Amino acid sequence: MPVSLDRLLVVGISSRALFDLEVEEAIFRNEGLEAYRRHQLDHENEILKLGAGFALVRALLKLNALTPDQRLVEVVIMSRNSTETSMRIFNSIKHYDLDITRAVLSGGASLAPYLQAFNVSLFLSLHEDDVQAAVNSNVAAALLYQKPANALEELDQIRIAFDGDAVIFSDESELIYQTQGIEAFEKHEHENALKPLPEGPFARLLKALSFIQNSFRNAQGSATPPIRTALVTARSSPAHERVIRTLRAWDVTIDETFFMGGVAKSDVLAAFKPHMFFDDQAGHCDRASPLVQTGRVPLRGEAGNSKSN
């Protein structure tokens, strides 16, 4: 029977997000596809350096070693490379002993049509068009910033931090704030405090992580789960109540929650030390990215800028 990925947390990651391919990106941009092809073939046996998404992928794959009877995570390498130029990627995966066996090599075509085929729960890339296409296809996706100096620091737990509105929750309330101001936003949230917020693009991922956490708690009693999550939101009182009630309705526990009330998120994130922080606001991402690995979550329908790999 075919292998099913339905019950797994499936992460799709581009080759340029997993490994540092910025030199190769510059060759592709400045000299063209043939020069890029020659470079990859000539350097086929040179191991690539680690990219922006490497630490998170390595950490997530370690979950499988903790549950030898049940695989929890699958990672699919997704690249615009051709089959011919992909050997360097596979050689690097083998060198770093990453348990990645599945790949999509699209030969320059968009990767988005293949996300549903592999049941991808999260897609990470430095290719803006592919991230936008994934978001438009209702797949949780983030455009990664280049990694900060401490991105590969080993942590005892997998740590993932999320923004709230337009990430875990829908952008319904955020649009009210942006178009009508803070008073209208607070009035709307007070009037709808008992009504759960609609799901945002990362709700499915958060629920999957919560399920994994609970599985470890149930199997090991009081043992500390290997995943720790944080919600870092610009909301403050009185807009906190709807968030808390929504998470209760979803039966999801967030380990740490920070209602920032407009205070910059960067210092809290530096203290939490996530493998990845997801936010939809470019300003928050720009301030966080020098301190922690950051991924920006585009809104559906945003225009993107084309990049390679």
Instruction: Supply the residues annotated as catalytic.
Output: 163
**φ and ψ of 121, to 5 deg:** -90, -25
Q: What DSSP string describes 27-84? A: HHHHH-HHHHHHHHHHTTTSPPPB-TTHHHHHHHHHHHHH-TTS--EEEEEEESS-ST
Please report, to the nearest 10 degrees, the dihedral formed by the alpha carbons of residues 121, 125, 129, 131 taken in order.
30
- Identify the burial level of 25 via C-beta atoms within 10 angstroms of its C-beta, where 0-12 means exposed, 13-18 middle and 19 or more buried: middle
Structure-block tokens of residue 144: 């990664």
| DSSP strands (E only) in 163-259 | 227-233, 256-259
Asked if residues 99 and 72 have their Cβ atoms less than 8 Å apart, the reply is no
Helix (H) or strand (E) holding 173: helix 172-180
